[in-house]
A and B are shown apart, each in its own frame.
Chain A
Amino acid sequence: MKNAVGLILNMDGEDDSLKGFLQHRSLSTLPFGGRYRLIDFTLSNMVNSGISHIGVIGSHKYSSLVDHLGTGKEWSLSRKTQDLSILSGSNNYHIGRLIKVNLRNLQNNRGYLDATAAEHVLIATPNLVTTFDFRHAYDLHLKNDSDITLIFKKDDPLYHLKDNDLYLEFSKNRVSGLHYKREHTTGHFFTEMFFVKKTVLEELLDLSERTGDWDLMDMIKYNIDTLKVFGAQHSGYIKRVNCLENYMKASMDLLEYDIMQELFLGKNSIHTKIKDNHPTLYNDPAQVSNSIVGSGCTIDGIINHSIIFRDTQMNIGSHIQNSIIMQRCEIGRNVNLNYVVMDKDTKISDHTTLVGKPHAPIVLKKGTVI
């Protein structure tokens, strides 16, 4: 993969349902799965596939991204041969609808594209939960001499796609049409990961300068006959976190051993920022089942079907189920939580009961004290 450079940018915007979590961070650094941030998956997949130069376009809320990625050391991207670049940020141009890949964000980073010697660019969104080896798709991309290779997945009703998500239409093995969900659906949807030839990307950038059309997916859609567009199939587990409901689903999927195994126990691991925590202490009254637990916790209560992040303190007599408790939360005595998502540094005092609904969990913002 020496001849490809990675580019990570958010193609899903920030859904209103996730607002509570995204006041001080972008979607890419939304905590996930007990110790990760969403971007860890895409970033690790790129690194594990042998991509050595990766650029990240963040939102204007940069501090959590910079804090999380640092020099990229945890992803082996802080070496003389491999690097991570935090690029100029995106502007959320919201003109009536969300543009998936806004070429103005690439135009702002033209210098980065110009400087790379790589001939291909892998562009992916940071909010995917999946382990994917890009090498096979890359080989196809080269073999077909494609301009663009879109990575797609067979449609799945559980996937919960949105109106502006894209479906692929095939003719022979080439992609002959791209359709927004609101227009037309086919059996294959776009995963928001694709390879594009750098020369083609540059031409499209120049074209958009002239025409004022900044939507890359639209440009591919309307020029599908003149561009050589192919598809590469993703056959494993994938969830895209683009709303609270999908965040809950993807989180709870981790409690299925098969999915957890595919995501975390394969040959390649998902890397993340490392913390110096002591091992988690389960005290005598603790009863934990069917859950994921991070390090540094002290647990005295009952937990089932939940995700507990690092450094959580949970006191005696409390019961957590179907909930997500992010880093450094403190849960008092005799607290009852069901379908609750607690952001970092939240404190719940003794004898509190909070019960949400499966499709509408209670969301507690970072630093809330109840």
Chain B
Amino acid sequence: MNTECVAMLLAGGQGSRLGSLTFNNAKPAVLFGGKYRIIDFPLSNCMNSDIDVVGVLTQYRPYILNNYIGDGSAWALDQIQGGVHILPPYMGQKGGRWYSGTADAIYQNLDFIDRFDPEYVLILSGDHIYKMDYSHMLAFHKEKEADLTIAVMDVPWEDAHRFGIVNTDEDHCIKEFQEKPEHPKSNKASMGIYIFTWKELKKALQDDAGNRESEHDFGHNVIPALHESGKRIFAYPFSGYWRDVGTVQSYYDANMDLLDTNCDFDLSDRSFRIFSNNTSRHPQFIGPQARITNSLICDGCIIFGKVENSILSHDVVIHKKTSLKNVIVHTGAIIEDGAILENCIVGARARIKGDARYITDPADATPEIHVINN
């Protein structure tokens, strides 16, 4: 078992900006690309990076997430002693409390990490869609003899103000942080992926826990404090597909990227696969009058209607005389005879009546995305 680097996945956030998609489900467990859940991406990345120990910090609405992670075997994280561990808040001798921030969540689980005695700790979050071999980042971290390495990527300058921006020297050493700056000095955005040298992280978290002013957040408190104290912080440059899916619009756009042939994010690439916890379902049944174009369809779907530029999760039933265009449908939803849907996200097990009409003006280049749940 490889315990040189242990991964800690922050999966406790509510994801309130995803609206009703997270009413009874934690954000990392929200469906993506039909069959996947967001957490498949960091977990599959761990698997593809030979990381054998992953702690998943859960807090908000954890049932679906816990159930989905199961014994971790879907991501080959079911080995004896290692593997995936779900870490909810807990009671101790002095009582217990909720995780009050990303750093606090890790702080409360210092003994979990100590148990594996790693050299490095990888901090991940459960709301990004990307493929990344963390072992390259770890090699970079070691090469730079860094205390902390932050994965960064170049974003378009006009979007830079929405990100945490870092400014580096030629050696990738971070000289300055700017959180959502009005006037960004660079376009290198933090991806929310950190590798810490464990002893530095442990000390930083202990210091942070004693600081009453702190919000116990990595981005706002822990990392700036390390920077101020002169630690070696480096930016690991990543180039490739990476999307934050924290809002309805960004979630929708990232899903639709999968239907865009010009997009280089390829889920069918066998050399770096994204795994998921699959259950047995019947194959897709495509009825005589069905018409499907440019769409992703999962097992268990039954389709009698017209589906265009859409993504259907498992067990979706599309009755006849229906028309779906630019729609994401989650597991088990039923679209009844005659419904017409455009630019929507239909929640899991929703039943859409035949008289439903969600039609957008074709002239509107950026129509609002409706989230339909019932």
Hey, which bits of chain A sit against chain B, CB under 8 A?
33-35, 74, 257, 260, 263-265, 269-272, 274-276, 278-284, 286-296, 298
Contact = CB atoms under 8 A, between A and B. Distances in A.
Interface string B287-320: 1111111111111001000000001100000000
Contacts of A33: 282-283
A289 B288 contact: yes
Interface stretch (B58-66, B93-101, B267-275, B356-364): B267-275
Per DSSP, chain A at the interface is loop
B312 to A, nearest CB: 8
Nearest to A290: B288
B294 A284 contact: yes
A74 B283 CA distance: 16
19 contacts: A35-B282, A263-B282, A265-B282, A271-B280, A272-B280, A274-B278, A278-B274, A279-B311, A279-B312, A281-B268, A282-B295, A282-B296, A284-B293, A289-B288, A290-B286, A292-B284, A294-B284, A295-B283, A298-B268
A260 B274 CA distance: 30
A140 to B, nearest CB: 30
B292 A288 contact: yes
Residue among B279, B282, B291 with max Cβ neighbours from chain A (10 Å): B282
A278 B275 CA distance: 9
A34 B285 CA distance: 10
Given A272-B280, A278-B35, A288-B292, A296 B268 contact: yes
Contacts of B284: 34, 280, 292-295
Nearest to B269: A278
A23 B244 CA distance: 50
Contact of A293 (B278, B281, B283): B283
Contacts of A263: 282
B42 interface: no
A160 B176 CA distance: 79
B289 A289 contact: yes
Contacts of A296: 268
B73 to A, nearest CB: 9
Contacts of B35: 278-279, 295
B322 interface: no
A158 B287 CA distance: 24
A235 to B, nearest CB: 22
B296 A292 contact: no
B293 A286 contact: yes
Given A264-B282, A279-B35, A282-B296, 9 more contacts: A35-B282, A74-B280, A269-B280, A278-B274, A283-B293, A293-B284, A293-B286, A293-B297, A295-B298
B276 interface: yes
B34 to A, nearest CB: 4
B250 to A, nearest CB: 21
B280 A282 contact: no
A274 B282 contact: no
B78 to A, nearest CB: 11
A292 B293 contact: no
B283 A294 contact: yes
A106 to B, nearest CB: 30
Categorize the interface residue count of chain B.
Answer: 35 or more
A276 B276 contact: yes
Contacts of A260: 282, 285
B289 A279 contact: no
B254 to A, nearest CB: 15
Contacts of B289: 289
B33 interface: yes
A283 B273 CA distance: 21
Given A269-B280, A293-B286, A279 B292 contact: no
Contact of A279 (B34, B286, B288, B293): B34
A14 to B, nearest CB: 26
Contacts of B311: 279
Contacts of A270: 280, 282
B285 A257 contact: yes
A345 to B, nearest CB: 15
A275 B278 contact: yes
Contacts of A274: 278-280
Contacts of B312: 279
Contact of B296 (A34, A281, A294): A281
A136 B292 CA distance: 42
Contacts of A257: 285, 287
Nearest to A292: B283
A282 B279 contact: no
Contact of B287 (A265, A290, A298): A290
Given A264-B282, A281-B296, A295-B298, A289 B275 contact: no
A198 to B, nearest CB: 31
Nearest to A269: B280
A280 B296 contact: yes
B268 A292 contact: no
B280 to A, nearest CB: 5
Nearest to A296: B268
A279 B297 contact: yes
A272 B34 CA distance: 20
Nearest to B267: A278
Nearest to A287: B291
Contacts of A272: 280
A288 B283 contact: no
A282 B268 contact: no
Contacts of A287: 291
B296 to A, nearest CB: 4
B275 A276 contact: yes
A133 B305 CA distance: 33
B95 to A, nearest CB: 38
A292 B286 contact: yes
Contacts of A293: 283-284, 286, 297
Contacts of A265: 282, 302
A296 B273 CA distance: 12
Interface string B25-39: 000000001110000
